[in-house]
Structure 1
Amino acid sequence: MTHDHDLVLRPTAAQTEAALNPPAGRHGGDLVVETLAGLGATTVFGVPGQHALPVLDALRRSGLRYVGLRVENNAGFAADAYGRITGEAAPLLLSTGPGALTSLPALQEAAAASAPVLAVSSQIPSTGLGGRRRGHLHELEDQAASFRGVVKSVHTARTQSQIPSAIAEAWRSALTVPFGPVWVEVPQDVLAEPARLPVVTAVDATPEELPPRPELTAVAADLLARAERPVIVAGGGVIRSDASGKLRQLAEKLAVPVVTTFGGKGAFPWNHPLSLRSWLEDRHTTDFLEDADVLLVVGSGLGELSSNYHTFRPRGTIVQIDADAGKLESNHPALGIHADARLALQALLETLEPVPAPAREKTEAAAGRARALLDRVGARIAAQGLELEQEVLASVRAALPAGSPSFWDMTVLSYWAWSAFDARRPNTMHSAQGAGGLGYALPAALGAAVAEPGQPVLAVSGDGGALYSVAELATARQHGLDVTWLIVDDGGYGILREYMSEAFGETHGTELAGPDFVALAESFGVPAVRTDPEGLRADLAEALSTPGPSVVVLPVTLRMFAPTHLS
């Protein structure tokens, strides 16, 4: 029998020695850094600020790498990508007030995409908290209130003794499914005061697991085994939980076609006979999903983009697996299973173990249905005279190595990529479609390059989105990061131009005067080239194969394929 006292962790001799003899010159900032190191962090992203300087000082004396960006929102995007690529909680260091608030769009994207980001922010001195308006620099009446509706959890350390526990709790929260951004704030005086505590040497913050309820997986398995026209919708939750392999096993075991959402790109092989790919903004695909007698939705809330702008009207039974309880049955009635995608798919596979392999005829029939759908989609696209757009996207795919990650801003080419780009491998294609903000691609790509040194990374932006993050060319150059930035320059907000023209017949406020992006990049010391659709593949491939940052500018106006969410 095991008793609670048997589980108490006793310090090692080395830990006891370190605790009793802490080095001189430590302060509260050291407790932050020591806790992060004790949790396993190796890299911190951020932007300096006056109130956060003690943490910067502690980082200087630590073994952690600090990657400073030029804008807090961009630092948040970099941390977001680092978290997506590594599966680790990415520390993001912010200063009080304006610095903290500037990170909000990035944290919203991390929340929408379930990216684990641990934001640590300074706060005004303790004497100014509690509603007292003393006029401190960067003072907000309630700074944490600005983040409660955005991040997964908020944690506050009012004393030095609370710092390790607050950060550990936040770490556990960020890495407990569904992953997400979390917020920790510490007052300036607490960070600056000499440390009265021993060195933080061991921190336990094991994330909690979220297994499915067995009676629900039993019902789901029975529905799938008896279904005549089952279909699987694989969302971003499959990617976040590293469940792509189990998804493929299940699809093949039952001969079920699979469509991936835009956030789930790469969750299922693009050229697999059962692949429906990602043509969710297509009425043919919507009709196919509506015709399913059982629809298994894994790691998706069937939101606006995944339901063809809420025109999807299912006629069959939906089984929905999601780690976010708020997304279960939020759009359609379903057998809701609140669980981590990987654990739920494993439970389904184990429950279905006695089910015999599908007959060859059943597998061929399912593959035939998938092929017929893709043929209909292909014929519709072919009839729209969009050869240029398809050529540009094909050139990008041909130039990008199969294992290299790509990061896409909200631009016309990205909208094409959501539906038509073969991600080749799981967790390699990322876009800002979770929250839909501009400026994501370049700083996110920088975060990925930090996560996987030596691996070329692609960022794709329009000229409008590029101006949100152009300052980070300095970051790319300073750290020598292997990021190639493709800027599609159409002289404005191209996708908004299309939307406005379609809705109102004319445009306003969508045209932009922009810089010479080649000259601008070169002024940062970053090599750049201007290309055209015919030369894009070769120019992009050369840039990606050359170490260090680079920019490829493509002046071209691309069109979107016709909307198909109307019956």
Structure 2
Amino acid sequence: MTARNGGDLVVESLAALGATTVFGLPGQHALGTFDALRRSTLSYVGLRVENNAGFAADAYARVTGGVAPLLVSTGPGALMTLAALQESAAASAPVLAISSQVPTAGLGGGRHGYLHELRDQKASFRDVVKSVHTVRTASQIPSALAEAWESALTAPYGPVWVEIPQDVLLADTGVPPVTALRAVPRPLEPRAELITEAARLLSGAQRPVILAGGGVVRSGAAAELLALAEQLDAPVASTFGGKGAFPWEHPLSLQSWIEDRHTTDFLEAADVLLVVGSGLGELSSNYHTFRPRGRVIQIEADLGKLESNHPALGIHGDARLSLAALCDLTVPRQDEAAAKAVAEVLALVGDRIAGQDLGLEQQLLAAVRDALPDTSPSCWDMTILGYWAWSAFDARHPNTMHSAQGAGGLGYGFPAALGAAAADPTRPVLAVSGDGGAMYSIAELATARQYGLPVTWLIVDDGGYGILREYMTDAFGQATATELARPDFVALAESFGVPAIATTPGTLRDDLAAALAAPGPSVVVLPAHLRMFAPTHLIGS
């Protein structure tokens, strides 16, 4: 038998658990794992910055619904993933981060002087990930990875952390090749008596309304949501994380105008509000201004989020299983006024936006929607056009629109799109960034080119941190530290061997469509100063 080491056990275990693709960036202590990759069947996507590798793994996990392995080194390399893992935790993306460690003799010391040494590396991750796992011997590797894999896929999904010392990864091992590992979490079934009570409340409601969050998308519950909404004639609003959970043009669809007082008023007026897969946090509660006047039923896979913001009949359960059970028990009702009420709310929202001279922003978002194939994923950075997309973009299919609105860090869009493209390279993927956010991940143009990933990157260039400029001007009368020197993005992309074009609002639709239709990566640069719609959580705004 060819000599094997701890690194082989890592890649064998990942393959046995069902992994096909891993993301990462090598480092000195992790070389045992990376060398083993060439002896494995796993596909490797190597990014240029560890944080970007984390964002790519995050999007891969969201798109596939499975675990995305992320391989990094010790100390600086490990710590560089923290922002990406925070986003994965906030968005419930099951990323399995596997880091190397200093040799076993140096664990817990901080005094041995090893390169990259931290006194307690895993302590930096405990407040971010779901669970941390430290391996001390080669024989522990398969079980530790299986345990971490199951933790990542146990509701609520989320990132996990495994660290393995350098000497364990490099040492020859007599542990037989890993051929089978099982890591299947139990289904999170709701308690029957709670579903019965929820069905009774919904069946007796005069004005039932549903708020669908990201948990609906993650559990694949779009069909069950549609069935229940039509059975109850209940209007449905989608949170930003729940984009695509409910058909945008359906007569019962309130769409995603969550940051709008008209929508908030409508949700507050429901005599029974069913909240599915949302913790009613800051964004989904219109900045904590939401004050429900009726009964709230909350279905949530994250036990800690049940009734964390509002009293409710809390149901700890998977969204799909819970909605299916409600469909079986609720009494069908007809309410011709429901669709009319939805149309009235959307008309009020439209009138309010129309009164703010925001035609350019709406034109650009419509151009993006027209250019993007219906089933193609899109990944949005924290930029003004992305903020517009949260409220106004029709995702058309569940699990196709992804953004960093969970933790709100810059630089998500492009590396996330690379991860989405790695998950399914047969579909073009769109990334949207501002010029400020683009600079966080400009090095990944080399990654896109190296792997030929079909990602079109739309960069809206307004010469600075546009949304921060707007926030500061509104709050203080002027902006500070928001203006940026930036490169010629077209020339820079072309220097990486990536085709690029400068566009205008009038030509954006055609230029974007052409770029998306072409093979491999591309960049479209749009010089434009955009504005957000006025704050809508304020009464009378």
Alignment of 1:287-302 (within 5 A): 287-302=265-280
Do structure 1's residue 444 and structure 2's residue 416 form an aligned pair?
yes
Do structure 1's residue 358 and structure 2's residue 336 form an aligned pair?
no
1:303 aligns with: 281
Alignment of 1:261-272 (within 5 A): 261-272=239-250
Q: Distance in 1 between matches of 2:174 and 2:216?
A: 45
2:74 aligns with: 96
**Is the 8 Å Cα contact of residues 301 and 327 (structure 1) preserved in structure 2?**
yes
Deviation digits for residues 278-298 of structure 1, max 9, x if unmatched? 001111011111111111000
2:138 aligns with: 160
Do structure 1's residue 43 and structure 2's residue 43 form an aligned pair?
no
Alignment of 1:307-318 (within 5 A): 307-318=285-296
1:483 aligns with: 455
Q: Distance in 1 between matches of 2:110 and 2:525?
A: 51
Equivalent residue in structure 1 for 2:431, among 456, 459, 462: 459
Structure 1 position 346, deviation (Å): 1.3
**Is the 8 Å Cα contact of residues 107 and 150 (structure 1) preserved in structure 2?**
yes
Do structure 1's residue 345 and structure 2's residue 323 form an aligned pair?
yes
Structure 1 position 177, deviation (Å): 1.4
Structure 1 position 132, deviation (Å): 5.0
Q: Distance in 1 between matches of 2:41 and 2:64?
A: 19
Q: Distance in 2 between matches of 1:396 and 1:114?
A: 27
Alignment of 1:50-449 (within 5 A): 50-131=28-109, 133-352=111-330, 355=331, 357-359=332-334, 362=335, 364-449=336-421
Deviation digits for residues 451-471 of structure 1, max 9, x if unmatched? 001200000000000000000
- Structure 1 length normalisation: TM-score? 0.94
Q: Distance in 2 between matches of 1:131 and 1:217?
A: 52
One-letter code aligned to 2:285: S
Do structure 1's residue 524 and structure 2's residue 496 form an aligned pair?
yes
1:4 aligns with: none
| Moved segments of 4+, more than 2 Å | none
Q: Distance in 2 between matches of 1:229 and 1:483?
A: 44
**Is the 8 Å Cα contact of residues 280 and 286 (structure 1) preserved in structure 2?**
yes
One-letter code aligned to 1:511: E
Q: Distance in 2 between matches of 1:132 and 1:98?
A: 15
**Is the 8 Å Cα contact of residues 78 and 448 (structure 1) preserved in structure 2?**
yes
Q: Distance in 2 between matches of 1:225 and 1:543?
A: 50
One-letter code aligned to 1:457: V
Partner SS state of residue 306, structure 1: coil
**Is the 8 Å Cα contact of residues 203 and 333 (structure 2) preserved in structure 1?**
no
Deviation digits for residues 435-459 of structure 1, max 9, x if unmatched? 0000000000000101001200000
Q: Distance in 1 between matches of 2:533 and 2:66?
A: 37
Partner SS state of residue 307, structure 2: coil
1:468 aligns with: 440
Structure 1 position 130, deviation (Å): 2.8
Q: Distance in 2 between matches of 1:234 and 1:131?
A: 48
Q: Distance in 1 between matches of 2:328 and 2:121?
A: 47
Partner SS state of residue 468, structure 1: coil
Deviation digits for residues 183-236 of structure 1, max 9, x if unmatched? 111100000000121111110111221100111111111110101111100000
Q: Distance in 2 between matches of 1:409 and 1:332?
A: 30
Q: Distance in 1 between matches of 2:107 and 2:371?
A: 54
One-letter code aligned to 1:358: R
Partner SS state of residue 307, structure 1: coil
Q: Distance in 1 between matches of 2:98 and 2:77?
A: 12
Q: Could you say what the CA RMSD is over the residues aligned between the two structures, in angstroms?
A: 0.7
**Is the 8 Å Cα contact of residues 282 and 565 (structure 1) preserved in structure 2?**
yes
One-letter code aligned to 2:449: R
Partner SS state of residue 247, structure 2: coil
Equivalent residue in structure 2 for 1:559, among 524, 531, 536: 531
Q: Distance in 2 between matches of 1:61 and 1:220?
A: 53
One-letter code aligned to 2:402: H
1:508 aligns with: 480
Q: Number of aligned residue pairs: give it.
A: 539
**Is the 8 Å Cα contact of residues 172 and 208 (structure 1) preserved in structure 2?**
no
One-letter code aligned to 1:43: T
Structure 1 position 176, deviation (Å): 1.3
2:465 aligns with: 493
One-letter code aligned to 2:420: A
Q: Distance in 2 between matches of 1:318 and 1:526?
A: 51
Partner SS state of residue 87, structure 2: helix
Percent identity (aligned): 73
One-letter code aligned to 2:217: I
- Structure 2 length normalisation: TM-score? 0.99
Structure 1 position 351, deviation (Å): 2.0
One-letter code aligned to 1:24: T
**Is the 8 Å Cα contact of residues 412 and 559 (structure 1) preserved in structure 2?**
yes
**Is the 8 Å Cα contact of residues 86 and 451 (structure 1) preserved in structure 2?**
yes
1:7 aligns with: none
Structure 1 position 162, deviation (Å): 0.5
Partner SS state of residue 529, structure 2: coil
Q: Distance in 1 between matches of 2:438 and 2:428?
A: 19
Q: Distance in 2 between matches of 1:70 and 1:279?
A: 37
One-letter code aligned to 2:123: A
**Is the 8 Å Cα contact of residues 110 and 117 (structure 2) preserved in structure 1?**
no
Partner SS state of residue 178, structure 2: coil
Gap change, CA 1:398 and 1:132, over 3 Å in 2: closer
Q: Distance in 1 between matches of 2:458 and 2:81?
A: 24
Structure 1 position 555, deviation (Å): 0.2
Partner SS state of residue 231, structure 1: strand
Q: Distance in 2 between matches of 1:219 and 1:454?
A: 45
> 252-261 or 171-180: which moved more?
171-180
**Is the 8 Å Cα contact of residues 5 and 169 (structure 2) preserved in structure 1?**
yes
Q: Distance in 2 between matches of 1:56 and 1:290?
A: 54
Deviation digits for residues 334-373 of structure 1, max 9, x if unmatched? 1111111111111111222xx2x323xx1x2110110100
One-letter code aligned to 1:494: G
Deviation digits for residues 44-74 of structure 1, max 9, x if unmatched? 1000101010111110111111110000000
